[in-house]
Structure 1
Amino acid sequence: MSPDHRDVATIGIGGPVGSGKTALVQELVPILDQRGYDVGVIANDIMTQEDADRLQESFSDLLPEELISGVETGACPHTGIREDPSMNIAAVNDFVDHAPDLDAVIIESGGDNLAATFDPELADYFIFVISVAEGDDIPRKRGPGVVEGDLLVINKVDLAEYVDADVDQMLADAETVRDGPTVLTNCRASDGITAVADHIEESALFGLTGTQETI
C-alpha cells in the first residue's frame, strides 16, 4: 500500500487575514528543520499563489521546491480546510509520494474569520493565530478557532501599545475560554516562536526522530 496523508503529521494554521500566519510559518520551518524534521508546506489562498510564492522564496535554500505547494480554494478559505479538504489532502499525498520519509506537513489556511477550524481528517494539530491589532476582545468572543484550536497564538504583541490593546487581559481571557495552551509571539522579532515549535514537537511530532528530546 502506498503512503498517504495518514502517514505524516499534519499541522493546520488558521486565523484572520493579517494575523501573521505566513510569518509564523516562515519562522517555524527553520526551527523544525534544525531539530531534524523533514517538513513540507502548503499555503491556501482563494484565487492566487501569493503566499506559496512568498514561502518558495523564503525557503529556496531550505526545502525542495516540490515540498512547497499552493492550493487555490476558489471559495471562502474554510471550504478548503473544513467543508471539503480534498484538495489539501491530495496535496499532502503528493508530498508523501515525493518524500515518503516526510515527518510533517504544515497547512496554512487562507485568511478567514474566527469560526475557521480544520477538518480532523486534514489536520492532526490545529494552531489558531490572532493579532492584538484586531482588538483585545477577540478571545472573549469565543470563536471556534480560538476555543477549539490545540494552540492559540496571540501575535504582534509588539503593536499592543500602538493599538491600545491589553495583552495581559487577552491572555487571561484566553485562559478562561480555552482548555489548551496560549503563546504570545512577535514573529518579526522571532519572539515566542521556540515555544510554538515546542508545542508542535511535543503534541504533533511526539515519537518521530528529531535532534531534540520531546517532553
Structure 2
Amino acid sequence: MGYRDVAKIGIGGPVGSGKTALVKHLVPDLVDLGYEVGVIANDIMTQEDADVLRRAFAETVPEDLVRGVETGACPHTGIREDPSMNLAAIDEFTEWNPDLDVVIVESGGDNLAATFNPELADYFVFVISVAEGEDIPRKRGPGVTQADLLVVNKTDLAPYVDADLEVIDRDTREVRGGDPYVFTDCKSGQGIPTVREHIERVLFA
C-alpha cells in the first residue's frame, strides 16, 4: 500500500450528536472483520476525545494508531479548509503500518455546515441527534444534505424531547433526495450494523 493510499472515513456533526459513540462502535466491528484501523480525533485545544478513544480501543487498536489533532481554530478548519495536520497524521499511520486499511477521522463538534475536504475523506458520515430538535433535518445544512451517509442518532430520546420519529423520517427522506440515512441509538447499538454495511459496501467492495 502506497503513501496515503488508505481508505478514509470522515465523521462529523454537532457537539453531543454522538460522533465519538459511533466511532467506539464502528472501530471494534471493523477490527473484528479483519480490517487494520487507525483513528484520528479532531478538537480545538484538547486531547479529550482522543484519550477516550485510546482507552476504549486499548485492546483492539495499537496506541500509535490513535491520534488527537488540535486544530487551534474552529473544528471545520482542520477537516475542510486546511486538512494538512490530519493528512500528516494519516501519512505517519501508513508509514507505521503499511497494511492499514482504513482511517476514521472524527471532527470536533461543529455545526450543520460542516463538511470534509475530499482529500481527507473518501466517505463522509454526518451525525445529528434527535435531541437537537424535530426540525433539524428541515434546516438543510450542508452536512445533512451533502454527506454520503446521514446518521440520525439518539432515537431513544425521542419521547423525552417531544420528537416524532415519523416526522423526522419523513423530513429526512425529503431533504436527502434518495441518498442514504440510518436511524441509530448508539447507547444500545441499534442501527450500527447498517452504518457499517454502508461503509463496507462503498469502501471495500
TM-score by length of 2: 0.98
Task: Give the equivalent residue in structure 2 for 1:90.
Answer: 88
- Structure-1 separation of matches of 2:22 and 2:137: 19
Structure 1 segment 181-200 matched on structure 2, within 5 A: 181-200=180-199
Task: Please state if 1:65 is matched with 2:63.
Answer: yes
Aligned to 1:44: 42
What amino acid sits opposite 1:197 in the alignment? R
Aligned to 2:168: 170
1:27 aligns with 2:10: no
Secondary structure, counterpart of 1:187 in structure 2: coil
1:4 to partner: Cα distance: 2.3
Kindly provide the amino acid, as one letter, of the partner of residue 100 in structure 1.
P
Q: Secondary structure at the match of 1:115?
A: coil
Alpha-carbon distance in 1 for matches of 2:119, 2:167:
34
> Are 2:107 and 1:115 equivalent residues in the alignment?
no
* SS of residue paired to 2:103: strand
The answer for the alignment partner of 1:212 in structure 2 is none
Who is 2:133 aligned against? 135
CA distance in 1, matches of 2:91, 2:171: 38
1-side partners of 2:39 and 2:59: how far apart?
14
TM-score (norm 1): 0.93
C-alpha RMSD of the superposition: 0.9
Amino acid of the residue matched to residue 76 of structure 2? H
Count of matched residue positions in the alignment of Structure 1 and Structure 2: 204
- What is the alpha-carbon distance in structure 2 between the residues aligned to residue 204 and residue 164 of structure 1? 37
1:205 deviation in Å?
2.1
Whichever residue aligns with residue 3 of structure 2, its letter is D
Q: Report how far residue 168 of structure 1 moved.
A: 1.6
How far, CA to CA, are the matches of 1:34 and 1:172 in structure 2? 34
Residue pair 1:3, 1:93 contacting (<8 A) in 2 also: no
How far apart, CA to CA, are the structure 1 residues paired with 2:16 and 2:90? Answer: 25
Contact 1:4 1:92 survives alignment (8 Å)? no
Deviation at residue 10 of structure 1 after TM alignment: 0.1
Alignment map for 1:199-214 (pairs within 5 Å): 199-206=198-205
Question: What residue identity is the alignment partner of 1:200?
Answer: I
Shift of 1:34: 1.1
What is the CA–CA distance in structure 1 between the aligned matches of 2:204 and 2:137, rounded to whole Å?
Answer: 27
Alignment partners' CA distance in 2, 1:79 and 1:143: 17
Partner of 1:4: 3
- State the Cα distance separating 1:130 from its structure 2 match: 0.2
